[in-house]
Amino acid sequence: MERLTIPFKKSILLFCLLALIVQASFSQNKPTMFDQVYAQIKLKNFFRARDLFDSSKNDIDAEKQNIILILLNNAFNKPLESNQKITTFFRSKSALPDSLILKIYRVQEDNFVKLHDYAQAKRLVLKIINEYKQQLSIDEKNDLENNLKIWTALAAVNPQKTIINSDTRIKIERDKAGLKNLPVRTNDTSTNFIFDTGANLSTVSLSTAKRLAMQIIPTNIDVDAITGISIKANLAVCKKLSLGNISIENAVFLVFADSALHFPQLNYQINGILGYPVIESLKEVQLTQNDYFIVPKVETKNEGLSNLAIDGLSPLIDIEGQHFTFDTGAEQTILYAPYYEEYKEKFDQQYSTTKIRMGGAGGTTEYDGFKIDPVFRVMGKSISLKNVSLLKTPINKETVYGNVGQDLIRQFGKMTINFDRMYIRFD
Q: Would you say residue 300 lies in a domain?
A: no
Give every CB contact of residue 368 below 8 A, 6+ residues apart in sequence: 353, 354, 355, 356, 391, 392, 393
Residue at a domain's end among 121, 154, 187: 154
Chosen domain end from 133, 154, 175: 154
15 vs 110: CA distance, rounded Å: 7
The per-type count for the chain, helices as H runs and strands as E runs, is 13, 26
Give yes or no: residues 169 and 145 share one domain. no
Torsion angle (degrees, nearest 10) of CA 49, 54, 60, 63: 80
Q: Is residue 389 part of a domain?
A: yes
**What confidence score (pLDDT) does residue 13 get?**
36
| Same domain as 173, residue 148 | no
Tell me, yes or no, whether 319 and 417 share the same domain. Answer: yes
Asked if residue 249 and residue 332 are part of one domain, the reply reads no
Q: What pTM does this model have? A: 0.86
Query: What's residue 197's pLDDT?
Result: 84
Looking at the fold, whether 208 and 113 belong to one and the same domain comes out as no
What SS3 state is found at 243?
A: strand
In a domain, 5, yes or no: no
90-121 per-position pLDDT tens digit: 987 677 788 888 989 999 999 999 999 999 99
Quick one: how far is CA 145 from the chain centroid?
21
- Spatial neighbors of 29 by CB under 8 A, at least 6 apart, are none
392: domain CATH number is 2.40.70.10
Cα first-last separation, the chain:
26
Question: Do 18 and 148 fall into the same domain?
Answer: yes
Note the pLDDT of residue 29.
Answer: 60
Domain presence at residue 376: yes
Identify the pLDDT of residue 238. Answer: 97
Residue 178 and residue 136 share a domain: no
Determine the 3-state secondary structure of 290 from DSSP: coil
CB 338 within 8 A of CB 399: yes
* pLDDT recorded at residue 317: 96
In a domain, 88, yes or no: yes
- 107 and 188, same domain (yes or no): no
Burial call 382-398: b when 16+ CB within 10 Å, e when fewer: ebebeebbbbbeebeeb
Statement to judge: residues 188 and 323 lie in one domain = no
Number of other CB atoms surrounding residue 238 within 10 Å: 23
Q: Does 247 share its domain with 374?
A: no
Distance CA 76, CA 50 (A): 10
Give the pLDDT confidence score for residue 5 in this predicted structure.
Answer: 38
Are residues 253 and 374 part of one domain?
no
Burial 296-327 (b: 16+ CB within 10 A, else e): beeeeeeeeebbbbbbbbbbbbbbeebbbbbb
> What amino acid is encoded at 417 in this protein?
I
Domain span at 198: 161-283
Contact status, residue 273 vs residue 378, Cβ threshold 8 Å: no
Report, as ranges of residue numbers, the positions in the chain whose pLDDT lies below 70. Answer: 1-29, 93, 225-229, 359-363
Residue 260 lies in a domain: yes
- Residue 297 maps to a domain: no
For residue 38, the domain's CATH number is 1.25.40
Domain membership flag for residue 396: yes
Task: Look up residue 201 and give its DSSP letter.
Answer: S
Q: What integer pLDDT is reported at residue 266 of this predicted model? A: 85
pLDDT of residue 359: 63
Q: Are 125 and 148 in contact (CB under 8 A)?
A: yes
Please tell me the predicted confidence (pLDDT) of residue 7: 39
- CB-based contacts of 85, cutoff 8 Å, min separation 6: 66, 69, 70, 73
Residue 44 CA: distances (Å) to CA of 18, 146, 322, 383, 402: 10, 24, 10, 24, 12
Q: What is the count of structural domains for the chain?
A: 3
Same domain, 38 and 148: yes
